[in-house]
Structure 1
Amino acid sequence: MSTTIAQRLYELRRAHGISQEDLARKLGVSRQAVSKWECGESVPGTDNLIALARLYGVELDALLGIGRDADADDGVPAQVTSGSGGAATRPVSAGEPAEPPASPNRRRTLIAIAYGALAVLLALILLYCVRANTPDYIVIEGTVVASDGVFDDFVVDVGYTEQYPSRYIVCSTDSTTTYDYNVPDEPAGTGEADESVPASREPIELQEGWKVSVSFDVRGGVKWPQARNLVDSIQIETELA
């Protein structure tokens, strides 16, 4: 008899806790016959096989180990079938995952791209806010305390203030600097029309004691104040008599 059948009969009897004597008595055979079945020296008859299957509660082919032998001999794993159509798919090899896991490197790359885009957006917003709050011109008001007609430089005393790091601002003029007089309105009833003096690029030699309003163009990130600050326009408020 096949050793697989003999081993199967032995395993089933032991699993149900039945001795060879008890099994022989239930089947109406001798204990020696049961021993020969489990040693592979003989094969139970058809009636005894059916009785054994009913006693152990298994199918006849399971009792004979037919299904187990077929799987062991074939060596091909069961195919995965779809739940609806039942069509067989490619057999899955042992150790091969059904679906590849998501790549952690890809996830980290996407997160890095998202953070990079957010950083660029925040930088643009910050740049816009800085530009929106940065003045195009800086205007100071003060008194001329020194003037150099050779180099077109003059010094304005802006007084003691926390707005500027120094009380005295050194100013420089060039051909682009404009000059203007702040002419007060004529008193009412004089019969003279009010006229403003247009700004001029003709240089005016500033005198000590004049009250002036000086404008500096700081567009494009021009640093201010410096040792010598280029003046965009000068408005003379008052002059000494």
Structure 2
Amino acid sequence: MPNRSLNTHLFHQKDSNVLSWNIRYQIAIGIARGIAYLHDECRDYIIHCDIKPENILLDADFTPKVADFGLAKLVCREFSRVITTMRGTIGYMAPEWSSGVAITTKADVYSFGMMLFEIISGRRNLKQSKDGKAWFFPTWAANKVISEGQPVLSILDSKLEGNADVEELTRAFRVACWCIQEEAVQRPSMGQVVQILKGLLEANPPPIQSYLQSLVENEKTENFFSE
């Protein structure tokens, strides 16, 4: 893979080698298609368990390849979930990993959502300051765009200088927010993610309380997409 990992381009490249928005968006769609294939099209479906930028390799045309299946689980179609030991990388692991419940493909969806925030922003999702306090980018981004009503361009990687398709950026932001919902049932499937990113389905505005840790419980069921 001549263009190495996505991680290299997002966090370690000089400004002159920054990935354009168009390339980032196509990479996001390509990754989503790859994970959807693992979940929906294999004879026995595969839960990757470690989706992160370091495990996305880029060929000469920046076409992404999902790599490193060392932690993956192969699951028979007769079963929708599997009990397994904790796997993955801190910062990308779904909440259910720590609760000991059976894992489904929605664990990969959560990891994809976390990575999609990084593709959008060009910064790590979790950053610890010198005084020991943690700064969580998805929470900050959701608060800025949804609570404060700031334009979605405000969370874009500053190195892109605002050069992005706003409609695509909005789609990507909404998908990322839905993918990291605390309850797995509220997250979309990767097939739905592909359709949203390609503009075939429209994502509804995501509920804000899930990632702002609001004390107010939302009693109505949230729907991810509308026809």
Larger radius of gyration: 1
Of structures 1 and 2, the one with the larger relative CO (CA 8 A, separation 6+) is 2
Greater share of residues in strand: 1
- Same fold by TM (over 0.5)? no
Question: TM-score by structure 2 length?
Answer: 0.18
